[in-house]
Chains A and B, each alone.
Chain A
C-alpha cells in the first residue's frame, strides 16, 4: 500500500532547519577522506599538478616523486597526507602509478591498476560484511585523473584502451597535461578531437550532475564545454607586474597557473575540491562500488549453485540472485560451509583409519619378524646345546676310556711291580 506524502505547512517554527548544521558539525568532527589516483606517462607533470592542487609539497626533495626513479614495471604507490583548513580535516590519499606507458611494450600495463582498484573495493566489501562494523575506513579510489600528452592530434591507442577498461570501475577525469605547449586554437581543436574520440569509443567519463539550481547549472555547463580540462601545474612563485603569482617562467613570458585565460587549472581545482568532491565520493559509492559488489556476489552465488548441483543435494534454492536475500544467501553459505567441513572431517577420519591400519600392520609385521628371529635364535641355541652335549659325551667317553686305560695301566704297573717285588723276594730266597 503506497504511503501518500502530503505537503503540510507549518504553523510555527519547529527548528529542523538546523539539521544541515548538525550534519555539518558531525562531519567536521569526523573529518573527510578522499582518494585520488593519477595515471599517465612519466614526464607529464603529474606530481607537479598534485603539489599545485593541494598547495603542499607531497613530493619534495627528501621524498622524490616517482618520476625521478626509473621503473621497470608499473607500480602502484600510495601516499597519505593530512591537511587542515578552517577547522576541517581532510585525509588525502594520492595513488600514483609510475611506469605506466613507459616501456617499449605496454600491453596490459593497466592490469596492476585495475587489480589495485578491485582490491580496494574488496577491502571495503569485506569490512562492510563484518559483524563488528565500528571502523570502516574508506580507501576506495574516488577519482582517477588521466593525463593525456599534448600531441595536438588526438588520443593514442594506449589512452583509449585504458579509459575503456577503467570507465566502469572508477570516475575517470581526462586532463590535457602540460597545456602551455598548445596555443589557444590548437587547444580548442585538440579538445574537440578528444571529445569526439571519447564519444566514438563510448567511454563514460565522469559526468557532472544536473542540479535544480539555475546558477549552478550554468557553471556546470561552462565546465562541460571545456572538457577535457587543459592544465598547467607549478608551485614556483613569480612576480608579474608587481603581482605575485604561481607560474612558469619562459623567456617569452610567464604562463600563470591560476589565470583562467592561460589554462583550466582553477576550474579543475574548484571542481575537484570545492564543488564536486562529495559528488565524486557518492558516485563511487553508489555506482562503481555497487557494480563491483553485485558482480562479485553474483559470481559467488553462481559458484554456490554449481557446487550444490554437483553434490546432488536437494535444495530448494532459487537460481537467481534477485530471489534471494543476502541473509538467506549467507545461511546457504554457512550450510555449505558446514557440509564441506563435515566432508573434510570424514575424509580425515578415513585417512586416519587407514594410517592406523597401516601402523598396526607394520607393528604386527615387526612382531612376527621378532618372533621369527626369536625362534631362530632358540633353535640355534638348542643346536649349540646339543652340539655341546655331544661333545661332552664324547669327552666323557674319552675320559672314561682314558680312565679305564689308566686303571689298566695302573694295574699293569701294579702287577709288574708286584712281580718285580716277588722276583726280588724270590731272588733273595
Chain B
C-alpha cells in the first residue's frame, strides 16, 4: 500500500467554496461540489499517521557525517550523540548502525532513522567494502517484501527501506577516488544516492567549482545516475526543477551544531581565527540547498522513487528468482511463467 501523495504546499484550502455574500443571508453556490476538500482530509490523515524517513550516510570517518545529520534536523540525531563513546576508534570491519528518532514540527510527526556506516573506506584494503551496505539495503527490501507477501497483512507495513543514501566525498579538490566511483556505481542501481562534498570549507570558490565540474564529468563518464535521476522526470516542470538541481550537485556542505553570534543574530556556524562560516548562508556553502532538497521539496519524491522503482525492481528480481526455482522443481519451462506474468 503506497503512502498518500502529499501536495508540496501545505496550504489549507478554503473549506467549502467561495461564499458569495449577498444581502439576505448566506447563499449556497450550486456549482461547487467540494472535491478539493479531499486535500484537507488527506492532510489530517497524514498528520495522524506521521511520516517515515530513512537516511543512510556513507563516507570515510572524519568527514562530518554525524555533524551534518545533526545540522539537517537541528537536533542531536546522530549515532555519536546517542551512543556517547569516549574515543572514536575506527572499527575493523564495516558496521551498520541505525538509530531512530521521533521528531515533531507544527503537529507533523516524523520517524527519522539515520543509518550510519562506520568503518567504510577506512581500512588499508577496502576491497568490497560496499558489500555489507548492499546487503543491508537488500535486507530491508526483503523484509518489506515478506510483509507484503503475507496472507494476513498488517494495516500499515513498517517501512524500513533506505530512502536516500548521502555519500560524502572527501574534499581533495582533484577528482573522484576509485573507491568513490566503485561504490556509487554499484549503489546508484539500488538506492537514491545524493553525493555531497564534505567539509567544503577547505575549498575556495574556484577550487569548489573546478572540483564539482570534475565530479560531474566523472559521474557521467562512468554512467552513474545520482538523484534526481534523469529517467524518472515525469513532466517538463519536474525536468526544469531537476535540471537546476543537477547543475548544482554535488552540494558542497559544511555542518555545524554550534551556534555563534554573527551580526547580532545567533547562527549555526564554525568559528575560525579568520572568519566565521555560516552554515545557512548560501554564499558560504550549499547546505541550505541540500536541506531544501531532502526535506522541504523532494522528500516525498525520494520516497516515491524508492518504493515504486527501486523496490519494484528488487521485487521483480526476487519473484522471478523464486519462480524459476519453483518452476525448475516442477519441470515447467521458464518462458511459460513469463507469459503468465504478463
- Answer yes or no: are A and B bound together in one complex: yes
| A interface with B by C-beta (< 8 Å) | 41-44, 67-68, 70, 102-107, 149-154, 156-158, 161, 178, 180-181, 183-184, 193, 248-256, 259, 261-262
**Quick check: B201 and A250 within 8 Å, CB to CB?**
yes
Pick the 10 closest A-B CB pairs, nearest first: A151-B62, A43-B172, A253-B275, A252-B275, A253-B274, A153-B88, A105-B125, A153-B62, A181-B202, A43-B174
**Quick check: A107 and B204 within 8 Å, CB to CB?**
no
**Quick check: A255 and B62 within 8 Å, CB to CB?**
no
Bound complex: CA of A252 vs CA of B278, how far in Å? Answer: 8
Q: Enumerate chain B residues within 8 angstroms of A105, measured Cβ to Cβ.
A: 124-127
Q: Enumerate chain B residues within 8 angstroms of A103, measured Cβ to Cβ.
A: 178
**Quick check: A180 and B124 within 8 Å, CB to CB?**
no
B123 contacts the other chain (Cβ, under 8 Å)? yes
Q: Enumerate chain A residues within 8 angstroms of B127, measured Cβ to Cβ.
A: 104-105
**Quick check: A249 and B273 within 8 Å, CB to CB?**
no
**Quick check: A106 and B125 within 8 Å, CB to CB?**
yes
Question: Beyond A157-B123, A251-B205, is A180–B182 a contact (Cβ under 8 Å)?
Answer: no
B124, B127, B182, most chain A CB atoms within 10 A? B124
Bound complex: CA of A342 vs CA of B126, how far in Å? Answer: 55
Question: Beyond A107-B125, A153-B61, A161-B124, is A262–B273 a contact (Cβ under 8 Å)?
Answer: yes
**Quick check: A149 and B170 within 8 Å, CB to CB?**
yes
CB distance from A131 to the nearest CB of B (A): 45
14 A-B pairs with CB atoms under 8 Å apart are A42-B174, A104-B127, A106-B126, A149-B62, A151-B63, A154-B87, A156-B122, A157-B90, A180-B201, A181-B202, A183-B272, A184-B272, A253-B272, A253-B274
Bound complex: CA of A158 vs CA of B202, how far in Å? Answer: 22
**What is the total of A-B residue contacts with beta carbons within 8 Å?**
106
Question: Beyond A70-B175, A104-B126, A156-B90, is A184–B62 a contact (Cβ under 8 Å)?
Answer: no
**Quick check: B172 and A44 within 8 Å, CB to CB?**
yes
B309 contacts the other chain (Cβ, under 8 Å)? no
CB distance from A195 to the nearest CB of B (A): 14
Identify which of residues 223-248 in chain B touch chain A, using a CB-to-CB cut-off of 8 Å.
none
| B interface with A by C-beta (< 8 Å) | 60-63, 87-90, 122-127, 170-175, 177-179, 182, 199, 201-202, 204-205, 270-278, 283-284
Bound complex: CA of A42 vs CA of B274, how far in Å? Answer: 26
Question: Beyond A151-B63, A153-B88, is A180–B283 a contact (Cβ under 8 Å)?
Answer: no
Closest to B63 in A: A151
Bound complex: CA of A147 vs CA of B124, how far in Å? Answer: 16
The residue from A42, A161, A181, A262 contacting B199, defined by CB atoms under 8 A apart: A181
**Quick check: B90 and A43 within 8 Å, CB to CB?**
no
Q: Enumerate chain B residues within 8 angstroms of A154, measured Cβ to Cβ.
A: 87-90
Closest to A110 in B: B124
The residue from B124, B270, B273 contacting A106, defined by CB atoms under 8 A apart: B124
Q: Enumerate chain A residues within 8 angstroms of B201, measured Cβ to Cβ.
A: 180-181, 250
Bound complex: CA of A249 vs CA of B276, how far in Å? Answer: 13
Closest to B129 in A: A104
Q: Enumerate chain B residues within 8 angstroms of A178, measured Cβ to Cβ.
A: 171, 202
Closest to B272 in A: A183
**Quick check: A102 and B62 within 8 Å, CB to CB?**
no
Question: Beyond A107-B124, A181-B201, is A43–B274 a contact (Cβ under 8 Å)?
Answer: no
Bound complex: CA of A103 vs CA of B121, how far in Å? Answer: 11
Question: Beyond A152-B62, A156-B90, A183-B271, is A104–B202 a contact (Cβ under 8 Å)?
Answer: no
Question: Beyond A151-B60, A184-B273, A253-B272, is A102–B177 a contact (Cβ under 8 Å)?
Answer: yes
Knowing that A183-B271, A254-B274 touch, tell me 12 more A-B residue pairs with CB under 8 angstroms. A41-B172, A67-B174, A105-B125, A105-B126, A107-B124, A107-B125, A149-B62, A180-B202, A181-B199, A184-B273, A248-B204, A250-B277
A251, A252, A254, most chain B CB atoms within 10 A? A252
The residue from B126, B175, B273 contacting A261, defined by CB atoms under 8 A apart: B273
**Quick check: A252 and B276 within 8 Å, CB to CB?**
yes
CB distance from B268 to the nearest CB of A (A): 13
Question: Beyond A153-B88, A181-B202, is A102–B276 a contact (Cβ under 8 Å)?
Answer: no
Bound complex: CA of A256 vs CA of B175, how far in Å? Answer: 26
Q: Enumerate chain B residues within 8 angstroms of A41, measured Cβ to Cβ.
A: 172
CB distance from B214 to the nearest CB of A (A): 11
Q: Enumerate chain B residues within 8 angstroms of A68, measured Cβ to Cβ.
A: 174
CB distance from B86 to the nearest CB of A (A): 12
Bound complex: CA of A149 vs CA of B207, how far in Å? Answer: 18
**Quick check: A249 and B275 within 8 Å, CB to CB?**
no
The residue from B60, B87, B178, B283 contacting A251, defined by CB atoms under 8 A apart: B283
The residue from A43, A153, A158 contacting B170, defined by CB atoms under 8 A apart: A43
Question: Beyond A149-B62, A256-B274, is A249–B204 a contact (Cβ under 8 Å)?
Answer: yes
